[in-house]
Structure 1
Amino acid sequence: MYQISNKLIKIAVKKIGAELYEISSVKNKTAFMWDADPTIWGSFAPNLFPIIGALKNNEYIFEGKTYNMPKHGFIRHNPDIKLIEKTESSLKFQLKYNQESLKLYPFKFCYNIQFSLKENILHIHHEVKNLDNKPMFFSIGGHPAFKCPVYENEKYSDYNLRFEFTETAETYLLNLENGLLTNQKELVLDKSNTLDLNYSLFNKDALVFKDLKSRKITLNSKNKGDIITLNYADFPHLGIWAKPNADYVCIEPWIGYADLETTNQQLPSKEGIIKLEASSNFKAKYSIEIHKAHVV
């Protein structure tokens, strides 16, 4: 476990998977992250790489060979990731390819994730370096889970998500048996910028948005006002999810998403995939702003 703090917020990150598991206010001790109750969903904020969501049959094909890959990739739960730099305001972790990773993913890579604090904002920086002599293909994203409700004497339905812009947006429905994206869609936002939370919202699994205009989303309490804002300017796709009847909400910035049911399983042609040329670097970041950090 590694911790850093400033005058306003404190964070803590697990070594395994470099998983953020605490954001709290220094002044009022309010905790904003889900507590990862293992009887409901035992994670806090997994880091997603080199895929997001499920693959068809948990497999993909590259250069004629079939590889197995678990849902969301192999960063989460990974014990090999290492802390390589710590300052008063930042933590930086790294995972390099090894013989085990090459069995799952035939690319020589270096994955870095850095958590840095500035006032009441946590910045999360992803960097991927292609150390290979060929292009590599990947998706990348975050999966932070926030408490909801945050405060006592509130309920889940007191909360909503407010988007940066008015949206008319559909979710792409997932096959509940295998986690793949179907060709079915449902309207979620109809000329609106507000999505009210309720326990039945995720009965059909995650809301998957491919084409929102918004790149900011705010968790708002009808009683307490704005709680957190997630700014995901570098991420074109967004997932919103929770287990049914659970007191949290995941706001997930993605580049990429689960396989389509119609996929040919070829990694280079996977929808939403990033192609990174040999000896090149890729960077993307998102931030979490804590609005109530100043309140004593």
Structure 2
Amino acid sequence: MTTLENEYLRVSIRPKGAELTSLFHKPSGIEHLWQADPAVWPWHAPNLFPVVGGCLNNQLLINGKTYPMERHGFARHSTFDLTESTASHAVFSLIATEATRPAYPYDFTFQIIYELNESTLTVRYRVVNEDKQTIFFSVGAHPAFAVPFRETDAYEDYVIEFEKEEPLETHMLSAAGYFTGETRPVATQGDRLPLTKHLFDQDALVFKNLESRRVAIRSDKHDHAVTVEYPAFPYLGIWAKPGAPFVCIEPWLGCADSEGQPRPIQEKEAIQQLEPGTVFEASFDIRIR
């Protein structure tokens, strides 16, 4: 386990999946990350690569061949190497091996960089194309924040506050986790989406056309808040297991397949492409106040 710490925050990251396992706010004494109760949902903050969401038939179609690919990709199950570390900065690296090529036939380096700056944790994704051909991928985050923050609060005391007041429309998912092509409006109170135990009864809320690039989890009962800012991520998922005391704020560069016929990887919705010898980077911030 790797620990980063400053005056405001103490965070822990495990090698498996380079997954954040603790986000502790020292001034308030609050642990803000869901602690992965295996009886409810056994993750803290999985990193999604080289796909986000589910692939039709659990397969990728690359250069005319099919490759097995599990939901949200293999990175969250892979062991990363810690390649740089200071008191406030850590770099975790995953490289292509004989274990990854049967599912994803590209040569790559995938890095996850964590950096503390006062009360903000920056998470940066870096993909290096080590191949001789263009590679295609998706990448995303899935951090689960514990709600309520305090034992004296209730889940229903909290809201998701959006950067802008705008109409919200979620893209519907089938029982298998694929987009159906249907949408439905999501009721808000101005720029706020109230949290309720039944908000996620029909799976995640998936927003593809948000103007907001920042959301906050907050309550009117106190000033403490968790803000996630994601300027480089056009898609946003919000999810919790119904009735569970957490909410996931999920910036994505990529998304699940839609129902129908499989499409080649280069035609997948929101797919990213990277030329040989080039580097992709995108980051988001988690700020505690």
Superposed displacement of residue 140, structure 1:
0.4
CA distance in structure 2 between the aligned counterparts of 1:37 and 1:11, rounded to whole angstroms? 18
How many correspondences in the alignment? 289
The question of whether the paired residues in 1 share the 8 Å contact of 2:188 and 2:194 is answered with: no
Report the Cα offset of residue 231 of structure 1: 0.4
The secondary structure found in structure 1 opposite 2:247 is: strand
Q: 1:294 aligns to what? A: none
Q: TM-score, normalised by structure 1?
A: 0.95
Q: Secondary structure at the match of 2:111?
A: strand
Amino acid at match of 1:236: P
1:263 and 1:222 map into 2 onto residues whose CA distance is: 47
Indicate the larger mover: 110-119 or 223-232. 223-232
Larger mean CA deviation between 247-256 and 260-269 belongs to 260-269
Within 5 Å, give how 1:1-296 maps onto structure 2: 1-79=1-79, 81-176=80-175, 178-189=176-187, 192-291=190-289
CA distance in 2, matches of 1:264, 1:145: 30
CA RMSD of aligned residues (A): 1.1
**Counterpart secondary structure, 1:157:** helix
Q: CA deviation at 1:227?
A: 1.2
Q: Call closer, same or farther: CA 1:151–1:109 in 2, change over 3 Å.
A: same
How much has 1:189 moved relative to structure 2?
4.7
Answer yes or no: is the 8 Å Cα contact 2:21–2:45 preserved in 1: yes
Q: How far apart, CA to CA, are the structure 2 residues paired with 1:166 and 1:109?
A: 40
CA contact (8 A) 1:173 1:184 kept: yes
Deviation at 1:6, TM superposition (A): 0.3
User: In the aligned structure 1, how far is the partner of 2:227 from the partner of 2:244?
Assistant: 21
Deviation at 1:226, TM superposition (A): 4.2
SS at match of 1:167: coil
Identity of matched residues, %: 39
Which secondary structure does the structure 1 equivalent of 2:190 belong to?
A: strand
Give deviations 1:171-224, integer Å, cap 9, x for gaps.
Answer: 001101x11011111101568311000010000100011010000000011211
Give structure 1 stretches of 5+ with no counterpart: 292-296
Per-residue deviation, residues 17-52 of structure 1 (Å, max 9, x unmatched): 100010112233211001111011000000000100
Say if 2:56 and 2:262, in contact at 8 Å, map to a contact too.
no
Taking structure 2 as the reference length, the TM-score comes to 0.98
CA distance in 2, matches of 1:236, 1:248: 23
